[in-house]
Chain A
Amino acid sequence: MLRAALCAGVAWPAAAAAQAPGSALAELASRAELVGTARVEWAFGLSDAESQKLELVLEPELELELPAGLDLTAVGRLRADAFDELEPGAPTQHERSVISRRALVGDRVDLELRELYVEGEVGRALFTLGKQQIVWGRADGLKVLDVVNPQDFREFILPDFDESRIPLWAVNTEVPLGEFALQLVWLPDPTFHDLPEEDALFAFTSPELIPSAPPGVPVTQRSVDRPREFIRDSDAGARLSTSLGGFDLTLNYLWHYDDEPVLFREILAEPTGPRVVVAPGYERTQLVGATFANAFGELTVRGELGFSIDRFFPTEDPADPDGVVRANELDWVLGLDWYGLRETLLSVQLFQTRLSRDPAGMIRDEFATNVTFLARREFRNDRVAAQLACIHGVDHGDGLARARVGFELREGLELFAGLDVFYGSERGVFGEFDHNDRLVVGFEIGL
């Protein structure tokens, strides 16, 4: 009955309308499935002994069988936070296109259409049309090729990527070609990383990311010059997949706007002294990449390589005319997963980044290295799951260590507790959040 009532607002073809209203509803309900989750999570800051959030997240999901073998999926999200520390006030959402913005209800509640797409097949080709997540790559925790969708950094990289990835309106097709599969994507939705504003708990402050003006020099920030044309500013990409000699292989290409804003800088000589003007904008780049994975006994090996052409990086060199340096970027990751202990996964990854240029003043290092470690074990017939994870930035000696325990109390109800600890130099991208260590407890119910 509930399902029928909830589905009553969905449009349905004329054939169904011709039936008696009751039977049309029953027919509709028989083709629909409504599920969802409700999660309550409290995060308590250990440095300042203050709550970071007390959040209720509802995620209903509707799946509906349409005529002609089509399937419709709709996923919504309601998020209510009692403390409003993660996004104080009403965020501007200037990074998002008008069709991908959240609806804000006051300062503490937001509603978002997370996904809305139709899937179907034409011959052996599969297409997915609508708002969706397109995921590339094989790495955990950090990203090399998983950049088709931008990311919401409201809680830095703490949430699952499934939650922090910003779904985009896209045409996504996958066509089998003999031993290969070709995926073609087109994303007419100019939406970029959602970065926390200055007063937010997880606002970026690391000089690795944010350039600073000399002491005493005033800074003016212009409004963001964001691409807004849905067609002209769209992204497009392709992925070719195959299996060869036991290896799962992909070749990837993405022509896209870099989701990180480029901070163009101008230094004005004014009567009162110099003034720095920052004009954020977005620039196109091309990403060429490849991935592989294979299993060798108890060991799984996986890797990704990404080469970005023409990215822009800020420089503090006052002689630089626009404050940014154009360079190519090579990123790669090698991961090893070991399954040698029963009910246990041990995983390590090595990430490296290299820039093609390193002129004086660049605030990013030419090389950057991160290593990750993950240990996960399940107990008591998968009723209890424990996980330890760490991302360590080698260059600044900073990092993020995480521990989590989940307990399935009863059917569909999981209790969880966790600890997130940032450490190291405040110059580092992890160490900058050293004051945000937190204890997390909560529960999730399947609806």
Chain B
Amino acid sequence: MRISYREAMRLALREALESDPRVFLMGEDVGRYGGTYAVSKGFYDEFGPERIRDTPLSELGFVGAGIGAALGGMRPVVEIMTVNFSLLALDQIVNSAALLHHMSGGQVSVPLVIRMATGAGRQLAAQHSHSLENWYAHIPGLRVLAPATIVDARGMLAPALADPDPVVIFEHAQLYNMEDELPDDWSCDIERAAIRRPGSQASIIAYGGSVPKALDAADALARDGIDVEVVDLRVLRPLDVATIAESVGRTHRAVVVDEGWRSGSLAAEVVARIVEHCFYELDAPPARVCSEEVPIPYAKHMEDAALPQVPKIVAAAREVLNV
């Protein structure tokens, strides 16, 4: 079955709502409007206003409500329109959701799933386009996921809901229209990184919206006879260092692609892990392809120029290979 990333997400949500009465969806415009990215289109009529709840424009409030519901035994899925807006809810996510299990000495858990859109590329300007995944990947107590394929979009929600602790899922806004074949077995873990394309000369390590770009770059390089591997992080916290180290240990070269800004980025963390774990296997300094350190511009040509793009990834791979 060939479906879009959006449909895969919708299938996952529907399955959760159908199979577990404790699951409900809450967020801005998720109900009557059908979701900012139309993931929950039709759910309001199908599941009713009790389970598909529109909220006021108050991230701090409705994320807090989601935490309370989770503490009370529900399995809430809270949708935040973009990661930019999630900053309003940082206190609830960082100081409550991530901490309560610890602060209560293990007496309570917060089985909350927070979904949010992230990333640029749709001319939505600086307040809707940033990639702040690394802010959350920094926090102990959270699990952070970045589905980048149809399978992960379909399969990650169920284990996220089954996790007794809070899970943040980042859906890159440019992926929603991506289509691919959904295999019969789409179940997946939320532990491991995945090698999306095996290769021998360098490892391109990416996540979320950068994964398709990394794969395109690998195709372009292959046309010139350069064989690179593409690793999809999938889980941004905790990082699957074993897979990264295994790949780089084999290819001896790494290019990390991250739509976040370079300074203090997740890419920086990945490079640090590579150096810590594979120093003696490295045949060139690891390279990073990140967003330019500017607010993401509105103008199309400037937005394109600010983001990691296939030619930049190709150039970085050629640089570490010196070819």
Do A and B come together as binding partners?
Answer: no
- B residues contacting A by CB (< 8 A) are none
